[in-house]
Structure 1
Amino acid sequence: MASKDFNSVLANVDLSSLVDFSKKSLLISIASITFNPTAWNIVARNEYRNKTITRIFGGNTRNGCYFLAVMIFSFGMLRDHLYQRALQEQPRQQILPEQYATIVPVALFGLGQLFVISSTWALGVTGTFLGDYFGILMDHRVEGFPFNVLRDPMYIGSTLCFTATALWYERPAGLLITLYVYIVYILALRFEGPFTDMIYAKREQEKAKAAKSQ
């Protein structure tokens, strides 16, 4: 009986009252979310193969990586701004019970920022911003917090922040965008993970060859 009642509620929900797909700001926000991981994967792979950014900086790999870090960070801030702007133009609807409407988004945002900031601290600038594609490899795998809790804490933390923002502004459209963010991150990891593993596996092979030749 409860299942029938729930289904009847869903049937009566008018999606257009929750998400205004006609707003250009919504499409721009989705486009920026798509652009960031896609672009940086393409740029990073090109850097690994052709050293384009490194050559622009006179062969200095660290300066090239720092430049890419600034670009990634700046476009991330722009993406977040476009997301908030899109939410402001979307229909407002109470999502959580009133007693949880503040504490839940604050807690989620705090947890998300904890994962993002702590993972950045653990990896450092070059470890966070694709330094391995520049040939700046870490000596060993980071296994402390938050990597002992989550495999991809930065992406999970970012997703939590998107969720918290949608709940804070009470915009159902934000939850839909957050789901898209999560899907984009999963797809990005399918490209990032194996390629990064290949880079480190290649280093180990080169070390083994060097050891045999001695």
Structure 2
Amino acid sequence: MASMGALSSFVDFSQASLYISLFSITASPVAWNLIGRNEYRHKTLTKLIGARVACTILGVLIFLAGLLRDVLYKTALFDQPYYPLPYEIQTILAWIIFSAGNFLVLTAFLRLGFYGTFVGDYFGILQEKRVTSFPFNILDNPMYMGATLCFVGAALWYERPAGLLVALYVHLTYATALHFESPFTDMIYSNKASRKNE
């Protein structure tokens, strides 16, 4: 009970903006996985408008949802208790972490391209082979790790401890998404290799 009291001095659980932010973090991976799996199995959107157009629209929507998620996160942070940090943490460490996160996201995007980033494989738009060059040679999922680091960096920059709790939630959400995504992606590329060898 004492630990909850201590936590409540850093996190205001009564703020609706906190829960709206958490919902926005969860909604995107759930939506793109459900839409992507449906598309892989039933080709619903592909039959209507074609794979590339459908994937482009979904990719744009995922990107816009990410921007909305970031706005909602910032709004939630400003509704949370402020805790001043030493300059070295608030500025230097925050910028290093935030920059590292953005670097991972950007380099992963450049390696994968638009369709590789935005679930093109679920639409049948496949890479020649799985990408294994940097940053994928140091991390299996650099985009998810990069996004999580951005949440941590923002929490330190705005000096809101609640942001670290949200960043942990982001990490757990993406870890859960990967539990479903990774085997499915492996299956898609395994099927591609099998067809190539026939």
TM-score class, shorter: over 0.9
- 2:53 matched to which residue of 1? 63
Q: Give the residue type in structure 2 aligned to 1:151.
A: D
Cα deviation digits, residues 139-196 of structure 1 (max 9, x gap): 0222221111211100000000000000001111100000000000000001000000
Deviation at 1:100, TM superposition (A): 2.9
Q: Normalising to structure 1: TM-score of the pair?
A: 0.88
Q: Normalising to structure 2: TM-score of the pair?
A: 0.95
Moved over 4 A (4+): 10-13
CA change 1:114–1:26 in 2 (3 A) is same
Q: Does 1:116 align with 2:105?
A: yes
Q: Does 1:180 align with 2:169?
A: yes
Structure 2 distance, partners of 1:136, 1:158, is: 24
Given candidates 75, 90, 94, the residue that maps to 1:101 is 90
Structure 2 distance, partners of 1:99, 1:176, is: 21
Given candidates 20, 39, 48, the residue that maps to 2:12 is 20
Larger Rg: 1
CA change 1:47–1:11 in 2 (3 A) is closer
Root-mean-square deviation (CA, aligned residues, Å) is 1.4
CA change 1:89–1:136 in 2 (3 A) is same
Deviation at 1:13, TM superposition (A): 6.4
Aligned length: 197
CA change 1:181–1:12 in 2 (3 A) is closer
SS in 2 for 1:146: coil
Structure 2 distance, partners of 1:29, 1:124, is: 28
